[in-house]
């Protein structure tokens, strides 16, 4: 399996270390998968569409928020 490195600032790392029970690699994988799913869905929905770039960005922002909420719930 390939490895990807994620850089976080010191404050975030300290906060993560306050929760050693959490598998942060799994949380990262879930977040990446959610984002990829969103992007693929957006590509599918917008292919051949007359949506403007700002319309697409608004849809993406809404989907990202839903994804963040889902990952947050699943990581508890």
- Residue 30 domain-assigned? no
H or E element, residue 22: none
Residue 27 belongs to a domain: no
Structural domain count, the chain: 1
Q: Answer yes or no: is 31 within a domain.
A: no
Q: For position 41, what pLDDT does the model report? A: 83
- Residue 46 CA to residue 49 CA, distance in Å, equals 5
Query: Do 57 and 64 contact (CB within 8 A), yes or no?
Result: no
pLDDT at position 61: 86
- pLDDT top residue among 7 and 66: 7
| 8 found inside a domain | no
Please write the tens of the pLDDT for every residue from 8-35: 999 999 999 999 999 999 999 999 999 9
What value does the CA radius of gyration of the chain take, rounded to a whole number of Å?
A: 15
- Whole-angstrom distance, CA of residue 57 vs CA of residue 40: 14
pLDDT of residue 18: 97
Residue 32 lies in a domain: no
pLDDT, tens digit (0-9, with 9 covering 90-100), for 27-76: 999 999 999 998 888 788 778 878 777 887 888 888 888 888 888 888 87
Q: Which residue has the tokens 């839903």?
A: 66
């Amino acid at each position: 399996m390939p490895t990807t490195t994620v850089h976080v600032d010191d404050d975030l790392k300290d906060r993560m270390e306050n929760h050693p029970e959490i598998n942060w690699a799994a949380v990262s994988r879930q977040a990446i998968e959610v984002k990829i799913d969103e992007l693929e869905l957006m590509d599918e929905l917008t292919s051949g569409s007359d949506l403007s770039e700002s319309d697409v960005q608004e849809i993406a922002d809404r989907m990202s928020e839903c994804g963040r909420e889902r990952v947050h719930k699943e990581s508890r």
